[in-house]
């Protein structure tokens, strides 16, 4: 992944490229913005350009991008470059531990092994706890020419102000839906309708759109359309819900929380699409019902009860 392959983040990419060309890059960056818009990929692309052995040049002989093919670029891409490292929350931990930052400091003190620059990407930096943040601050206060540190965080204000003020901040934005749709059609050979559905679902996060483009969620997409269509049909027919069918459905879908949340996202988009064509109070209530259910599940209420209640509400004519 080269800088020029990063999609929809031209402002940030251009700033990075310019600072590289001018040789005036910061020792620390903070990339902020929603999940799935390319912050981590950009950090790796920047690590590549900083260490590339055969970078591409413009007509004036200035480096404009990494080659993505040399030994160094390949190692970074395969996550085995000795001088480029991603530090993140360890499995089963809630935050980035102080010991991890201590380790980082030890490695910063060593000479780089094969790269020109040592690059440390602190992913999910919102999960640096106070101790780790304060420890990291010491590193940021003692600039080291051979080192670039990139903090990647969803929320700018979740970073300690003293740390924030030591970093050059680059804001990453949600990608326009049309752009995402275009990419889905091009890269996944997707039909127009499905691509625009997933683009809407992803809310400007290409990473999320790519996940939905995978086949594993195909059944969830289909299911959400069926539930939405069924909810509308019940309303027209004034039929009452088939409780037994609902309980059975709940049992099936509730095996996996990820599936349930995916389903609720898809369902919201499906209902919203009906709403745009035909805005009724009933549909508005149904969308609210799904959003409420989503909130409840995120707050860890009993998933089965929440889904049962939602299905009954969706299928009950008002």
Contact residues toward Zn ion (CB under 5 A) are 52, 66-67, 70, 73
Give Rg (Cα) of the chain: 24
> Which two structure tokens, joined as six digits, stand for 308?
């049962």
CA distance 311 to 309: 6
Torsion on CA atoms 97, 103, 104, 110, rounded to nearest 10: 180
User: Between 70 and 98, whose beta carbon lies closer to Zn ion?
Assistant: 70
Report helix, strand or coil for 106.
helix
Of the pair 56, 316, the CB lying nearest Zn ion is at 56
**Based on CB atoms, which residue is closest to Zn ion, 52 or 201?**
52
Provide the edge-to-edge strand list for the sheet that holds 84-87.
84-87, 118-122, 147-153, 28-32, 168-171
Least distance in Å: CB of 122 to Zn ion? 24
Q: Which is nearer to Zn ion, 10 or 69 (CB)?
A: 69
When the beta carbons of 47 and 306 are compared against Zn ion, the nearer one is 47
Dihedral angle sign, alpha carbons of residues 175, 212, 30, 119: negative
Q: Rounded to the nearest whole angstrom, what is the least distance from the CB of residue 202 to Zn ion in the complex? A: 30
Half-sphere exposure of 187 (CA within 13 A, CB side): 13
Least CB distance to Zn ion at residue 18 (A): 19
- State the minimum distance, in angstroms, from the CB of residue 227 to Zn ion: 48
d(CA 271, CA 283): 7
The nearest distance, CB 4 to Zn ion, in angstroms, is 13
């Amino acid at each position: 992944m080269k800088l020029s392959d990063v999609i929809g983040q031209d402002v940030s990419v251009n700033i990075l490229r310019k600072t590289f060309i001018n040789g005036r890059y910061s020792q620390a960056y903070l990339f902020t913005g929603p999940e799935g818009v390319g912050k981590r990929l950009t950090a790796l692309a920047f690590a590549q350009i900083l260490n590339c052995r055969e970078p591409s040049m413009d007509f004036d002989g200035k480096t404009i991008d990494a080659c993505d093919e040399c030994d160094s670029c390949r190692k970074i891409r395969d996550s085995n470059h000795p001088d480029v490292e991603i530090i993140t929350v360890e499995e089963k931990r809630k935050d980035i531990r102080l010991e991890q930052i201590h380790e980082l400091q030890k490695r910063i003190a060593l000479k780089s092994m094969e790269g020109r620059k040592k690059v440390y990407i602190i992913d999910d930096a919102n999960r640096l706890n106070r101790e780790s943040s304060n420890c990291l601050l010491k590193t940021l206060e003692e600039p080291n020419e051979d080192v670039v540190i990139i903090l990647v965080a969803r929320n700018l204000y979740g970073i300690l102000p003293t740390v924030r003020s030591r970093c050059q901040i680059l804001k990453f934005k949600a990608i326009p839906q049309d752009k995402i749709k275009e990419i889905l059609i091009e890269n996944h050979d997707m039909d127009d309708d499905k691509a625009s559905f997933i683009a809407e679902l992803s809310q400007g996060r290409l990473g999320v759109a790519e996940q939905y483009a995978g086949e594993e969620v195909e059944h969830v997409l289909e299911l959400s359309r069926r539930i939405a269509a069924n909810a509308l049909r019940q309303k027209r027919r004034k039929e009452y819900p088939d409780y037994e069918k609902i309980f059975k459905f709940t049992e099936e879908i509730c095996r996996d929380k990820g599936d349930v949340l995916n389903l609720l996202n898809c369902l919201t988009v499906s209902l919203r699409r009906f709403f745009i064509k035909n805005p009724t109070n009933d549909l508005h209530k149904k969308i609210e019902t799904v959003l409420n259910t989503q909130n409840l599940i995120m707050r860890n209420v009993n998933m089965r009860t929440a889904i049962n209640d939602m299905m009954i509400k969706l299928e009950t004519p008002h």
